[in-house]
Structure 1
């Protein structure tokens, strides 16, 4: 029987890469892509483990899973860092003052 590509193996790798790049977008995009990649990788590993001789592309799945984990960790660090800086430099009171100032400037 001819070997087939694991379902979504390339997409898992792409989402793993995007999860690392997404940590620069305040961490939110990295978490979204990382979780999607991990869920898809879990399903692909289950399919592969059922009959390993039938499929190729398992290396892409493993690499994408590792990149997704790294992206999740970096995104978590990014979110925590942003929260700490937000609290240190103004906090909620500073945010409310900034909102009031914007409302005054634009006539709202």
Structure 2
């Protein structure tokens, strides 16, 4: 029987990589790419487990899933840090470098 490539295996891998690369874009893009990669990986895994002998590229799905999880964690941490900084310093201080430097000097002594 002829083996076929697993649907969306390469896309899952690419989205997993993009979730890590874009985690510093305020955390939003990394979360989106990571969640989409996990959903696609779940569907691809279900298809693979029905007939494992008919499909190849399951390694890409597993790797993409791991990268997506890492990307989601990094993005969530960055998003929490960004929200914390806005809550602590205020939006105006973050946008003005001089005001931010004054605020940091006050905190550090």
Range of TM-score over shorter length: 0.7 to 0.9
Hey, what's the Cα distance between the residues in 2 that align with 1:79 and 1:2? Answer: 45
Cα offset for 1:38? Answer: 0.3
Matched, 1:31 2:44: no
* RMSD over aligned Cα atoms: 1.4
- Which 4+ residue blocks in structure 1 deviate beyond 3 angstroms? none
> Which residue number corresponds to residue 71 of structure 1?
71
Secondary structure of 1:61 counterpart: helix
Aligned length: 94
Tell me the alpha carbon deviations over residues 35-56 of structure 1, each in whole angstroms, 9 at most, x when there is no partner: 1000000000000000000000
Structure 2 gaps of 5+ residues are 97-109
Hey, what's the Cα distance between the residues in 1 that align with 2:61 and 2:73? Answer: 18
TM-score w.r.t. the length of structure 2 is 0.82
Cα offset for 1:90? Answer: 2.0
Structure 1 gaps of 5+ residues are 99-108
TM-score w.r.t. the length of structure 1 is 0.83
Aligned residue runs from structure 1 range 18-97, under 5 A: 18-90=18-90, 94=92
